[in-house]
Amino acid sequence: MSVGRIGLYIFLAGAALFFAIPLLIVVMTSLKPMDEIRAGSIFAWPMAPGFAAWVKAWSSACTGLACNGIQVGFWNSFQILIPSVVLSVSAGAINGYALAQWKPPGANMLLTALMLGAFIPYQVILYPMVKIMSNVGLYNSLPGIVAIHIIFGLPVMTLIFRNFYAGLPDELLKAARVDGAGFWRIFWEIMLPISVNILVVAVILQVTGIWNDYLLGLIFAGREYAPMTVQLNLIVNSQMGEQEHNVNMAATLLTALPPLLVYVASGRYFVRGITAGAVKG
């Protein structure tokens, strides 16, 4: 154990503690009754911990006039998340494979357009998108918000898969062509089986981005399909009388839990995919 190694461990421990303190406060607050929150410090450990605030946040907290808890937004977010992730990742994988290995006419121009699309803030095109969705009858609907997430996720997904597939040996594709395999057979039987790590990276990025989205869900989903983040905002800001901080913290943790679990469950593949993309891209 050199001095430098000890100093590195001290720095990492301090950084971890720095970033863990807000989460610790949120967890402790969610486990406290309101009498204890009013009487004590936010750093005080719960004297009588309980999950009553979690139950209320899930099932009976008020979001405006409705008091159905955050569970409504939870299922709405799942309805939005699943098709958005599956379709955007699938389309990005196919586009990246085509641009990297088959190089159709105008591939470089298309890649440049996708790069521009990936870095243009979507706030500047919200109004045109609202008008387009209204004209085609998809505004304030589940298919509409799914289409929006697919559109905004496609540039980044295409770039990720294009960089990964561009780093694969050309001989792999040539050998498959010699054996008579076409575009789709090569994609399904060769490219996808070796793309597990980069697929996990793409899925984690999309799950995190779509689940945590607030602005697009607020604008395009409508009241019936409002995602969990919109419900959380309503719980925190629409209560009358006393602010129930324990319920607010519990609702916040419930909202953040799904993407956190996804990352914890697949974090190893995420690191491998990032490394593979960095080396081969």
Distance CA 150, CA 171 (A): 32
Query: Cα–Cα–Cα angle for 148, 150, 155, nearest 5°?
Result: 115
**Long-range CB contacts for residues 43-51, cutoff 8 Å, separation at least 24:** none
- The residue ranges of every structural domain in the chain are 3-50, 71-280
pLDDT, tens only, 130-184: 999 999 988 999 999 999 999 999 988 988 898 888 888 888 888 888 888 888 8
Domain spanning 71-280, CATH class: mainly alpha
In this predicted structure, the answer to whether residue 234 has a pLDDT above a threshold of 70 is yes
Q: Which residue has the tokens 């990246």?
A: 96
| Percentage of the chain exceeding pLDDT 70 | 94
Q: How confident is the model over 108-123, as pLDDT tens digits?
A: 787 788 777 777 787 8
Query: Taking Cα atoms as reference points, which of 85, 87, 45, 125 lies closest to residue 209?
Result: 85
pLDDT tens, residue by residue, 219-228: 999 888 999 9
Torsions phi, psi for 66 (to 5 deg): -90, 140
Specify the residue for token string 């009358």.
Answer: 240
pTM (2 d.p.): 0.85
